[in-house]
Amino acid sequence: MPDRSSVLLKTVSEFLWNFNQASLESRLNSRHREMYVPCSSFNSEDELFDLIHLICKLTVICKEEDSIEMVRNNIFFFADLIDKVWDERSRRGVRLMFQKFSILHIRLFCLLLISPFAFVICDVAKANHNPDSEYRILETYPEDRPNIAHVNVGGTITSRAPTALSYFDYGEHGQFTPQEIIGLVPEIDNIAAIQVFNEEPIAQTDMPLAAATVMQAVADPEIDGVVVTSGTWALEELAYFLHLTVDTEKPVVVVGSQRPPNTYSSDAASNYFNAVRLAADPQSASMGVLVLLNEEINSAREVTKGAIYRLQTFESREFGPLGSTDPDRISFYRAPMRRHTYRSEFDVTGYTSLGELPRVDIIYGCRGCDDALVRAAVEAGSQGIIVAAMGDGWLPEIEDALREAAEAGVVVVRSSRAGENRVMPWHRYEGLFVSGDNLLPQKARILLMLALLETNDVSEIQRMFNEY
């Protein structure tokens, strides 16, 4: 075999041996015999890289602790098979010799390549040969790397899917540990040192506890930023809660994924990697809590989930993202203007869950609805009601019941189900109802719960909605 291929094989082998971290589960592609090499002959290292990249797609990735030892023990088989592939090029050209070798040969080849990072072997090996690559795997890490705290709030980004095609209903099949999530992208070690602050996920309903954990992290002078992994269903509410309660100028980034890490085309690894980049970037300081998915940076106050399954789900509808995590750098184009984090007046010290805060219910407005839900909320002990009303917060069918609730001391906030623009103060409701500005109903609920810890005065709560 030519010398250049020996160098390549040695590089790949060393990479497999050195990175013996936890791995993901995948399955062998049953259609492997129909795959082709994307080049007509193997006349260069790049073409051989293409071959190995193709083989990696067939790799079974497992969690066995001795998987790297298995690779080491079978390294000569790997070299022999590469020799056969190399020699075959002159006779069969573009078709890979899956027909020449038995299924057993193919599976042995896949077992040989078992590694936590089999899917990125080629890219990393290329990067290692390029001294200018930003994400080259380094033998020693920079001493001045930022220290980033990892706070685990669970969700899809930590969920273990039963199969590589399980894009829904995967919540009862276990979770990946924080170390496994960090290990998705070994290049993270080049840009930051990650410190895990909680192994077991915090429930999303325990937002005050999540805030306390983030506060614990930022209180450490060695910590430069925080990444919070979270499920996407209520990610925007968690992020806004942290935005209002975490007293820090350090970067805090909430990240999730739409697909579990061990599914095809998962966004978990790229989202987590970019979240670490964002938290480690000095530009992110004093920006409040940021949300990072799909390479877009959004403010916790403005972002919302717009699709159930699509990767481009999180958006700031009216104003757009703050910036993006481009491959070459972090790019910001605007900054949040409302009060947040280190400028916030809210303190949830001593609280653990949302259930300990004042009860606030959301009533969805529609044509023909009656006041049954309003009266039920009052009877259940609501201290506040958010009305997701039609248009500019108009409440015709339930206005009388809401007036009665307000006169009884329940704080009523007019918001809109439309999703964009401010709900403006109407003269007929002045001093009676609070105008929710442009906050979505679920965000208005978070702000009202915190406001009620301080006061139930309508004019004072209106000030808070105007400022936050």
Q: What is the pLDDT of residue 55?
A: 52
pLDDT over 90 for what percent of the chain? 64
351: in domain: no
Reply yes or no on whether the pLDDT at 48 is more than 60: no
User: What is the C-alpha separation between 185 and 268, in angstroms, rounded?
Assistant: 10
Report the share of the chain in percent with pLDDT over 70.
Answer: 70
Q: Pick the closest to residue 290 from 260, 309, 314 (CA basis).
A: 314
How would you label 421-437 residue by residue, b for 16+ Cβ within 10 Å and e otherwise?
eebebeeebeeebbbbb
Count structural domains, the chain: 3
Q: Give φ, ψ of 412 to 5 degrees.
A: -110, 130
Are residues 285 and 173 part of one domain?
yes
| Residue 427, pLDDT score | 84
CA distance 271 to 38: 29
Is residue 263 part of the annotated active site? The answer reads no
The confidence band for 53, taking pLDDT boundaries of 50, 70 and 90, is low
Cα 135–chain centre separation: 20
Q: Are residues 365 and 302 in the same domain?
A: no
CATH number at residue 289: 3.40.50.1170
Q: 10 Å Cβ neighbour count for 357?
A: 19
Contact 210/202 with Cβ under 8 angstroms?
A: yes
pLDDT number for residue 313: 95
Whether residue 38 is predicted with pLDDT greater than 60 in this model: the reply is: no
Residue 336 and residue 364 share a domain = no
SS3 337: coil
Same domain, yes or no, for 215 and 191? yes
Read off the CATH number of the domain in which 415 is found.
3.40.50.40
Asked if residue 111 and residue 189 are part of one domain, the reply reads no
- CA gap 415, 419 in Å, rounded: 9
Q: Are residues 100 and 77 in the same domain?
A: yes
Question: In terms of domains, do 171 and 274 share one?
Answer: yes
Mean residue pLDDT of the chain comes to 80
* 336 and 210 belong to one structural domain: yes
**Residue 139 domain-assigned (yes or no):** no
Please indicate, yes or no, whether residues 307 and 411 belong to a single structural domain of this protein.
no
Per residue in 365-415, pLDDT tens? 888 899 999 999 999 999 999 999 998 878 888 999 999 999 999 999 999
CA dihedral 41, 42, 43, 44 (to 10 degrees): 140
What pLDDT score was predicted for residue 132? 54
pTM of the model: 0.73
- The β-bridge relationship of strands 323-325 and 296-299 is antiparallel
Assigned domain for 142 exists: no
Residue 115, domain extent: 3-129
Residue 149, SS3 per DSSP: strand
In tens, the pLDDT along 72-125 reads 444 444 445 454 444 444 334 333 333 434 444 444 454 455 444 444 444 444
Q: Are residues 173 and 307 in the same domain?
A: yes
Q: Using the 3D structure, point to which of 79, 95, 129 is the last residue of a domain.
A: 129
What's the burial of 91, exposed, middle or buried (CB within 10 Å: 0-12/13-18/19+)? exposed
Q: Please report whether residue 141 resides in a domain.
A: no
Domain membership of residue 134 (yes or no) is: no
The 10s digit of each residue's pLDDT in 209-239 is: 999 999 999 999 999 999 999 999 999 999 9
Q: Which of the following is catalytic: 11, 59, 140, 156?
A: 156
Residue 74 lies in a domain: yes
Region 48-63: mean pLDDT is 46
Clarify whether residues 318 and 454 are in a common domain.
no
- Give a yes or no: residue 244 inside a domain: yes
138 within a domain of the structure (yes/no): no
Q: Stretch 253-261: mean pLDDT, rounded?
A: 98
- 141: its two tokens: 């890490």
Residue 13 pLDDT: 47
Which of the given ranges, 56-70, 132-146, 324-338, 381-395, has the highest pLDDT on average?
A: 324-338
Asked whether residue 58 carries a pLDDT value surpassing 90, the answer given is no
pLDDT at 11 over 60: no
Average pLDDT over residues 143-157: 95
167 plus 203 within the same structural domain: yes
Phi/psi of residue 375, nearest 5 degrees:
-65, -35
Which of 312, 343, 374 is the C-terminal boundary of a domain?
A: 343
pLDDT at 321 exceeding the cut of 50: yes
Q: What is the distance between the alpha carbons of residues 16 and 159, in angstroms, rounded to a whole number?
A: 25
- Give me the helix-helix angle, 45-56 and 3-18, nearest 10°: 40
Predicted pLDDT at 250: 98
- d(Cα 299, Cα 440) in Å, to the nearest integer? 14
Residue that is last in its domain, among 100, 129, 158: 129
